[in-house]
Chain A
C-alpha cells in the first residue's frame, strides 16, 4: 500500500512539475501569462508530494518490507537500524528519489522565500526548475522505479554493501546531493535571469545563499568521503584522483569560483558573464559527475550501479540541459550590458584570477579523467592517475595560493601595490624563510610538499590581514566568514603537504610478543583474537603503542562479511595533536610461523586536512548566516519604519 502511494505521489509530483514548466513557458511567450499564478502552488505541491514519496521509501526500509524489490536487494533484516534507514539512499533508485526530492523542496523554498527579484524572473526560474525536475521524474518513473514490487518476497534480503555500513559513508551521499541540487538552483536562477534580462545585483543576491549553501554541503561531503576512504580502504590514502572522486571535485571547483563571482556581482555589479557561465558550468559538472559514476564508461574502485542504459538516460538529460543552457547563453549574453569596469590590479581582478585558476584546474581534471576514453577511441590503452593529476594541478594551485596572499587585500576597482608594500615584503619573507628552513632540515622532501608548507604558513597569516585596522565589532559578519574559510584552506593545505612530505611507513610481520618501530613509536602485538559482530567475523589484533613512556591500546581488525561476501580492513587510529598513528593488521604472514602482517604509518598533521575543510565549511556557514541575520534585521527595521 505504502509503496503504491509513494509511486502515485511521484506521478503527481511529476505532473506538478509539468504544470510549473508550462505555466512558466506561457509567461515567456507573451508576457501576459495567465497560468503564472499557478507556478507557486505547483512548486509547493511538488515539494510536498516528493517529500511524502521519499519518507514512504524510508518507511519501507525501516520496516524491511521485502516485497519491495529495492528493499530486498539492498537491505537485510539483521542490519542495524541506522543502516537500514541509510539504505534508502544507498542505491541507485533511492538516491535518484532523494535528488528529485531535494530539487522540488528547494523549488518550493524559492517560491516561498524569494521576494527580492521581479516576479517574471522568479517565474522563469521556477519554470526552469520544473523542467529540470521533469527530466529526473521521467528517469525515475520509466527506468528507475524505487517502489517496484517483488513476488514472491524473499525472507532475508541481499544486504547492504559492507563498505556502506559505516556512519560516515551513510551520510556522504545526502550531503553531496544537497550540494549538487543546490547548484541546480543556481543554474535555474542563471537561465531565468538570462531569459528575462535581469542579470544584475538583485538576481545575484537572490542566488548567492543557494550557491553558498550548496558549496558548504559539497565541501563537507567531499571531506567526509575523503576521510572515509582514508580509514576504511585500509592503506591511509586520502585522495586517489579516482574518476568518482574527480566527479565530486569538479562541481566544487566550479561552485567555489561561482561563489566569489556572485558576490562580486551582488556588491559591485561586475563579472556578469562570468557569473552566469560559472552557474551553468557548475550544474553541468554536477550532472557530468552523476553520469560518470553510474554509466560504467570509466573504471573506478568507487563506481556503483553500473548500468549503461541508465547512463544513457542521464547523459541525454545532461546534454539536453547544458546544451540548451549554453545556446541561451550564446544568444542572450549579448543583451547583458557590460558591468562596472575595473583594472587588472583590483579586488575584481583578483577574483578574475581566482576564477581563471579554478577553471583551469577544473578543465585539467575533466580532460585527464576523460582522456583514457578518447585514447581508447583512437586505439591506445592508457591510464591517467595521481602522478599526472598531481603534477598538472598543483602548480596552478600554487599560483592560486600566491594570488590569495594578496587578493583579499586589494581595493575594489583599482589599487596600487605600493599601498601593500610592507605586507608584500612580509609575505615574501615568510615564504622564503619557510622554504629555506624546510630545505635545510629535510632536504629529501619533494618540491610540492615544500611549497605547500611555505604557502600554507604564509596564507595562515594572510587570511587574517583583512581584519587588520578594523573595528571588529563593527565588521560585517560575512568578512569573518571569509577570513575563517581562507584560514581553513591554509590549515588543510598544511595537512596535505605535511602528510605527503613527512609520512613514515613500516611494513613487517609480528608474532605475538614482538614489536615494531615507526617514527619514534614502538608498537607491540600482544595477541590476535577472533571477534564477532552483527553481520561479520574478524580477527582483531591486541596492540599497544608506546612513546615517551605513555602507552595506548590499539585494536585493528581484518573483517569478513558474509552477505554479500567481502573482506575489509578496519584500521586502528591513534590521534595526537601533531598527527595520527595508523595501524593495519592483515592476513597471517605466509611464512606460517604464527606471524601476522602488520603495517604501521605515522602521518604528521593528517587530521588538519579534514579539520581545515571543516573550517572552510564553517566560514561559509558564518557568511551565510551573517547575511541572513542582516536581512531579517533590515526587514525588521523596514517594518518598524513603515508602521
Chain B
C-alpha cells in the first residue's frame, strides 16, 4: 500500500508540470496565537491570488497562493498590522491584488455608492406618498 500510492501519484504527476519544491512552512500551518491567526485569515480572504481566476489566497491551491499565505502569516506573527501587510502586497503587485478597494480616488466613489443610491432613491420615492391634507 505504501509503495503503491507514491507510484499512483507519480503516474498522475506529469499532468501537472508546475515544478516541484517544498511548500513554505506557514502556507498550510496556522499561527499558534488564535487572535493573530484570525487576523491573518481575514487578510488572506481579501488578497487576490496572482495566478488564479479571481480566487483569494485563502481559497486557492496554487503554489504562489501558498507563498503569499506564508508571507502574510510570517509578517503578522512578527507583529505587523494587517493594513501594513496589505500595503506590502500592494507595493509588489499594485491595487489589483487587494479585493478591498482603497479609500482614495475611484475606490472612494465605490464606497460611497451605497449611501448615494439609498439617499437618491428615498428622495425619488418621496413623490409616491399621499400626504394627509
Contacts and interface: CB of A to CB of B under 8 A. Distances in A.
* Contact between A and B in the complex (any CB pair below 8 Å): yes
A341 B130 contact: yes
Given A385-B99, A388-B101, A507-B29, A530 B110 contact: no
A385 B106 contact: no
A446 B30 CA distance: 21
Contacts of A198: none
Nearest to A389: B99
A629 interface: no
Interface string B82-113: 00000000000011111111000111001101
Given A367-B110, A507-B29, A539-B8, A387 B99 contact: yes
B54 A380 contact: no
B78 interface: no
Nearest to B4: A530
Nearest to B99: A385
Contacts of B113: 363-364, 367-368, 392
Contact of A360 (B46, B56, B121): B121
Contacts, number: 140
B89 to A, nearest CB: 12
Interface in A349-381: 349, 352, 356, 359-360, 363-364, 367-368, 371, 375, 378, 380-381
Interface in B16-59: 16, 22-23, 28-30, 35, 38, 41, 45-46, 48, 52-56, 58-59
Contacts of B54: 242-243, 299-301, 383, 385
A361 B109 CA distance: 16
Contacts of B94: 381
A242 B53 CA distance: 10
B28 A597 contact: yes
A299 B49 CA distance: 12
Given A383-B97, A505-B41, A356 B106 contact: no
B53 A300 contact: yes
A382 B101 contact: yes
Nearest to A508: B29
B95 to A, nearest CB: 5
A309 B125 CA distance: 40
Interface residues of A, number: 64
A385 B56 contact: yes
**Contact count band on B:** 35 or more
A403 interface: no
Nearest to B97: A383
Contacts of B16: 565, 567
A352 B122 CA distance: 10
A559 to B, nearest CB: 10
Given A237-B59, A299-B54, A384 B110 contact: yes
B61 to A, nearest CB: 8
B95 A392 contact: no
Nearest to B30: A507
A162 interface: no
A392 B122 contact: no
B59 to A, nearest CB: 5
B56 to A, nearest CB: 7
Contacts of A363: 113, 117
Given A300-B53, A383-B96, A395-B114, A343 B122 contact: no
A272 B15 CA distance: 59
A233 B4 contact: no
Contacts of A344: 129
A396 interface: yes
A235 B30 contact: no
A237 B41 CA distance: 13
A52 interface: no
A304 to B, nearest CB: 11
B95 A396 contact: no
A537 B12 contact: yes
A506 B114 CA distance: 36
Contact of A387 (B9, B95, B100, B130): B100
Contacts of B122: 356
A381 B114 contact: no
B53 A385 contact: no
Interface in A503-519: 505-509
Contacts of B30: 505-508
A94 B26 CA distance: 45
A518 to B, nearest CB: 11
B55 A301 contact: yes
A139 interface: no
A336 to B, nearest CB: 14
Contacts of A412: none
Given A382-B106, A395-B114, A586-B28, 11 more contacts: A301-B55, A341-B130, A343-B130, A349-B129, A356-B122, A381-B96, A382-B101, A384-B99, A385-B100, A387-B46, A507-B28
27 contacts: A234-B61, A235-B58, A242-B54, A299-B54, A303-B53, A341-B129, A356-B125, A364-B113, A364-B117, A368-B110, A375-B106, A380-B106, A382-B95, A382-B106, A384-B99, A385-B48, A387-B46, A392-B114, A505-B41, A529-B5, A530-B5, A530-B8, A537-B8, A565-B15, A565-B16, A590-B23, A599-B28
